[in-house]
């Protein structure tokens, strides 16, 4: 070939990369000065403290404006911008910083530029007084296909003073070869059987997880914790001039409402915002008492016309509280129906408790939610918390349901009606054919209370608490095996938090008391990877069977990094516990495994009530990769409880009248039913995550594969130790849009699709942004 032609060809091939290398990839790096509309693509981020973040029109380098951050009290904040980048590439980030009186407190760095959550990708930090100073850092993107650039003030601690940032630049230095996708499986090399308990679930008295999600009660504050007409109450009075809250002989709690009427002032109380389905039947009841000549009815309104309601009149009310049952058929579908308790005549009516449920409820639980929970088929459910448990008195949740006291939720927003207590939770476990895992209050709770709770759960009727359980309708003990001793006691947010040295002793005291009641329980202690877990294992190993860990992942810029953070963090936790086993002499001969009893993604707006974040296709990919990591470390992870099951960062989401499986829930459902149980040594390229596992009788090999890219991939398959017949099945959860999601009212575009496979070659075709679970038949040898 002519040498000049070759040089020209090479130059043409390199031209696009060369041009890209010279291009500043940061949008609006002049912070609006180059755009007539003064566009600003930078947003603010706050990790701690308080700062003032402004666009300063009076100063710049060399031109105005610049971005300013100032704080008098201390801040760890940033101006941030998310930028798409190439994976496996090297970039340079540069900029100019000016500071005035910047002082670091604690572990703070000062004023600097950095790439969020990318180790080492940070410039030198400036403190004190500095004129405009040039800073720069070169970094590798690795798996990141998008990064968040920060103009950072504070940085891992609080800083005071003021800093300005200007003339930022991000340029590509080098694009490296991307590894070809491959999956290498050694079916001879297997690990310990994957515990079925890694498919566990966790429900907490928080937001709309139980009330408004699992439990079928439609009315809020049905026992009138709040005063009627108070801003925090869902109840409003109408007509009558007098609705008073009386603390004289209240039906339940601290007070009960009294509706006072006369011939000129009929009226009552009403709750709006109820969801109804046309033609559906609804059952309810009311505890009420009256004095004087009072007539009363309950009405359910489902429209604006006078006839758009169903009315249920009561027979003569009595001076003592009695229960009055009613039922309605909805004449229309609506999300803004109202239930009213109306009275006329002369006298007063006292209201005790009110209830309204769909008639298709299953012993108090929502039928639509229960159907989805049965699809999940989780083998264990953790309850009742979570932070909630550290302020929970289990006695509030036993006895006649309408007489259980309403309380302010001790850890979260809203009211705890105590409608769902031990009996209801155990009923739910029976309906779902699952095992209970009950957390004990070691925060504000006492050792005596914990001992009595376990006796209530597992004691015979010859014990005081077993006899009380029988009085409440359950003669036979439940024989609960899994007992969690506390929740997140390492955190200063936890009610009853105490220093680690004190808590390890407290843990041992609790366990001694619990095992005196039932020595067969499986004790799960509170862990937090690092010094807390290490100390608990050192000081409490003879008083625990397993140790808990919790992990939540935030949103990461870019699909690949967002997904891969999940297995990477679980791998670090597993390795830390292997290190504890090597270092701690008292762990020799013991097999204390991890119960990762809270794990999930946690970010985004609260669409479904308190902490009710929505999940997307990209989160489903991460959950599948997390399940792969549990399988890769089957010798370390005994249990994992997805947190939480319904609405609150949930696998299932509900509206007032419908329920849907989230994308993450689809992954849990699919793997629970179809992933094998004997993990095989599996290696993949960095743009895939996979795990192979034999089914129980080794008649088929399953391969779970995550493609965390928006492009289809053809993965080379290398298999040792098995001879495939060529036939099989594949289940697919996929969408080209990483933000695809399901919604109880808007529909479920993301589904599990099953296909037959007639031939398996040396490659696997992977759909973009997908979870694919292959089940490949094996030839008999």
- Work out the pLDDT band at 33, boundaries 50, 70, 90: low
Checking if the pLDDT of 376 tops 50, the result is: yes
Question: What is the C-alpha to C-alpha distance for residues 688 and 586, in angstroms, rounded to an integer?
Answer: 39
CA distances to 89, 90, 169, 243, 352 from 176, in Å: 5, 8, 21, 74, 71
Mean pLDDT, rounded, for 337-360: 96
Provide the sign of the torsion angle of the four alpha carbons 598, 599, 600, 603, taken in this order: positive
According to the model, what pLDDT value does residue 32 have?
65
According to the model, what pLDDT value does residue 504 have?
98
Name 376's Cβ contacts closer than 8 Å, sequence gap at least 6: 199, 201, 645, 651, 652, 665, 668, 669, 672
According to the model, what pLDDT value does residue 117 have?
84
Length of the chain in residues, anyone? 781
Mean pLDDT, rounded, for 237-241: 87
Checking if the pLDDT of 456 tops 80, the result is: yes
Checking if the pLDDT of 3 tops 60, the result is: no
Checking if the pLDDT of 4 tops 50, the result is: no
Checking if the pLDDT of 741 tops 60, the result is: yes
Checking if the pLDDT of 447 tops 90, the result is: yes
Query: Hey, which residues does 91 pair with through a beta bridge?
Result: 139, 172
Checking if the pLDDT of 380 tops 80, the result is: yes
According to the model, what pLDDT value does residue 179 have?
79
> In degrees to the nearest 10, what's the CA dihedral of 513, 519, 520, 525?
40
According to the model, what pLDDT value does residue 686 have?
84
Q: What is the DSSP string of 89-127?
A: EEEEEEEEEEEEEEEEETT--EEEEEETT-TT-BPPPB-
Residue carrying the six token digits 């080492």 = 120
Quote the mean pLDDT of the chain. Answer: 94
According to the model, what pLDDT value does residue 557 have?
84
According to the model, what pLDDT value does residue 21 have?
56
Q: Where are the domains of the chain?
A: 3-175, 235-358
Checking if the pLDDT of 746 tops 70, the result is: yes
Q: What are phi and psi of 660, to 5 degrees?
A: -145, 150
Mean pLDDT, rounded, for 329-337: 96
Question: What is the C-alpha to C-alpha distance for residues 502 and 727, in angstroms, rounded to an integer?
Answer: 59
List the single range of 80-89, 96-105, 634-643 with lowest mean pLDDT. Answer: 80-89
According to the model, what pLDDT value does residue 398 have?
98
CA distances to 138, 441, 457 from 465, in Å: 66, 17, 8
- Work out the pLDDT band at 15, boundaries 50, 70, 90: very low
Mean pLDDT, rounded, for 384-394: 98
Checking if the pLDDT of 189 tops 90, the result is: yes
According to the model, what pLDDT value does residue 95 have?
95
State both tokens at 99: 């500071």
Checking if the pLDDT of 450 tops 90, the result is: yes
CA distances to 137, 400, 466 from 473, in Å: 68, 10, 11
Q: CATH for 235-358, among 2.60.40.2140, 2.60.120.680, 2.60.120.260, 1.10.3720.10?
A: 2.60.120.260
For residue 579, the 8-state DSSP code is H
Mean pLDDT, rounded, for 677-696: 96
pLDDT tens for each residue of 696-718: 999 999 999 999 999 999 999 99
Mean pLDDT, rounded, for 580-591: 96
Mean pLDDT, rounded, for 122-142: 96
pLDDT tens for each residue of 264-304: 889 999 999 999 999 999 999 999 999 989 999 999 999 99
Question: What is the C-alpha to C-alpha distance for residues 37 and 51, in angstroms, rounded to an integer?
Answer: 26
pLDDT tens for each residue of 532-582: 999 999 999 999 999 999 999 999 888 998 999 999 999 999 999 999 999
pTM: 0.89
Question: What is the C-alpha to C-alpha distance for residues 725 and 217, in angstroms, rounded to an integer?
Answer: 53
Question: For the chain, what percent of residues have pLDDT higher than 70?
Answer: 96
Question: For the chain, what percent of residues have pLDDT higher than 90?
Answer: 87
- Work out the pLDDT band at 205, boundaries 50, 70, 90: very high
Mean pLDDT, rounded, for 370-379: 99
pLDDT tens for each residue of 53-72: 999 999 999 888 999 999 99
Mean pLDDT, rounded, for 251-267: 93
List the single range of 29-33, 623-627, 667-671 with lowest mean pLDDT. Answer: 29-33
Question: What is the C-alpha to C-alpha distance for residues 435 and 428, in angstroms, rounded to an integer?
Answer: 10
CATH number of 3-175: 2.60.120.260
Neighbours of 211 (CB within 10 A): 23
Checking if the pLDDT of 9 tops 80, the result is: no
Question: What is the C-alpha to C-alpha distance for residues 649 and 653, in angstroms, rounded to an integer?
Answer: 9
pLDDT tens for each residue of 749-759: 999 999 999 98
For residue 133, the 8-state DSSP code is E
- Work out the pLDDT band at 430, boundaries 50, 70, 90: very high
CB 771 within 8 A of CB 719: no
According to the model, what pLDDT value does residue 13 have?
39
Checking if the pLDDT of 37 tops 90, the result is: no
């Amino acid at each position: 070939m002519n040498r000049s032609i070759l040089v020209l060809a090479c130059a043409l091939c390199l031209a696009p990369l060369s041009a890209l290398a010279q291009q500043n990839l940061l949008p609006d790096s002049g912070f609006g000065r180059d755009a007539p509309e003064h566009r600003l693509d930078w947003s603010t981020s706050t990790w701690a403290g308080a700062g003032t973040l402004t666009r300063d029109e009076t100063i710049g380098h060399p031109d105005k404006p610049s971005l300013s951050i100032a704080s008098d009290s201390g801040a760890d904040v940033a101006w941030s911008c998310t930028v798409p980048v190439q994976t496996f590439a090297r970039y340079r980030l540069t900029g100019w910083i000016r500071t005035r009186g910047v002082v670091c407190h604690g572990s703070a760095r000062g004023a600097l530029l950095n790439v969020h959550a990318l180790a080492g990708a940070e410039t030198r930090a400036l403190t004190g007084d500095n004129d405009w100073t040039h800073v720069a850092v070169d970094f590798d993107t690795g798996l990141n296909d998008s990064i968040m650039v920060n103009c950072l003030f504070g940085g891992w601690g609080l800083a005071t003073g003021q800093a300005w940032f200007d003339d930022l630049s991000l340029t590509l230095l080098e694009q490296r070869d991307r590894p070809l996708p491959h999956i290498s499986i050694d079916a001879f090399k297997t690990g310990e059987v994957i515990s079925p308990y890694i498919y566990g679930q966790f429900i907490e008295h928080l937001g709309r997880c139980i009330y408004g999600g699992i439990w079928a009660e439609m009315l809020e504050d049905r026992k009138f914790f709040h005063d009627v007409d108070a801003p925090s109450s869902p109840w409003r009075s109408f007509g009558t001039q007098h609705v008073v809250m009386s603390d004289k002989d209240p039906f339940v709690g601290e007070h009960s409402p009294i509706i006072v009427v006369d011939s000129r002032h009929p009226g009552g109380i009403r709750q709006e915002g109820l969801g109804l389905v046309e033609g559906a039947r609804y059952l309810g009841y009311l505890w009420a008492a009256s004095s004087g000549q009072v007539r009363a009815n309950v009405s359910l309104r489902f429209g604006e016309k006078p006839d758009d309601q169903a009315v249920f009149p009561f027979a003569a009310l009595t001076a003592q509280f009695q229960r009055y049952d009613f039922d309605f058929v909805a004449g229309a579908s609506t999300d803004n129906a109202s239930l009213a308790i109306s009275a006329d005549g002369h006298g007063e009516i006292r209201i005790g408790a009110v209830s309204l449920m769909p008639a298709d409820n299953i012993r108090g639980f929502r039928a639509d939610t229960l159907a989805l929970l049965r699809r999940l088929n989780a083998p264990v459910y953790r309850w009742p918390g979570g932070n909630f448990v550290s302020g929970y008195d289990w006695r509030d949740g036993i006895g006649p349901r309408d007489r259980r006291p309403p309380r302010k939720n001790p850890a979260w927003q809203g009211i705890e009606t105590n409608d769902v207590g031990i009996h209801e939770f155990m009923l739910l476990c029976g309906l779902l054919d699952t095992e209970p895992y009950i957390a004990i209050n070691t925060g504000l709770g006492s050792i005596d209370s914990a001992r009595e709770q376990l006796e209530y759960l597992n004691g015979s009727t010859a014990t005081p608490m077993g006899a009380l359980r029988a009085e409440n309708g359950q003669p036979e003990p439940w024989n609960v095996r899994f007992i969690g001793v506390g929740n997140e006691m390492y955190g200063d947010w936890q009610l009853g938090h105490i220093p680690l040295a004190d808590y390890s002793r407290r843990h041992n005291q609790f366990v001694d008391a619990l095992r005196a009641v039932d020595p067969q329980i499986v004790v799960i202690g509170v862990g937090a990877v690092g010094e807390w877990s290490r100390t608990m294992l050192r000081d409490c190993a003879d008083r625990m069977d397993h140790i808990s860990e919790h992990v939540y992942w935030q949103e990461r810029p870019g699909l690949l990094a967002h997904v891969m953070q999940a297995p990477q963090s679980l791998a670090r936790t597993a390795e830390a516990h292997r290190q504890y086993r090597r270092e701690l002499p008292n762990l020799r001969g013991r097999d204390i495994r991890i119960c990762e009893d809270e794990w999930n993604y946690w970010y985004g707006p609260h669409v479904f009530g308190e902490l009710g974040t929505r999940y997307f296709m990209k989160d489903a990919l991460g959950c599948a990769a997390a399940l792969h990591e549990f399988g890769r470390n089957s010798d370390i992870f005994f249990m994992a409880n997805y947190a939480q099951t319904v609405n609150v960062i949930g696998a299932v989401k509900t509206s007032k009248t419908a329920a849907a499986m989230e994308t993450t829930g689809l992954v849990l459902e699919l793997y629970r039913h179809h992933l094998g149980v004997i993990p095989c040594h599996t290696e993949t390229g960095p743009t895939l995550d996979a795990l192979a596992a034999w089914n129980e009788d080794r008649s088929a090999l399953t391969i779970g594969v995550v493609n965390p890219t928006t492009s289809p991939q053809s993965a080379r398959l290398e298999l040792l130790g098995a001879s495939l017949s060529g036939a099989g099945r594949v289940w697919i959860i996929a969408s080209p849009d990483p933000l695809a999601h399901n919604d109880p009212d808007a529909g479920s575009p993301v589904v599990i699709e099953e296909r037959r496979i007639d031939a398996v070659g040396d490659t696997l075709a992977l759909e973009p942004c997908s979870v694919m679970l292959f089940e490949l038949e094996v030839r008999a040898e």
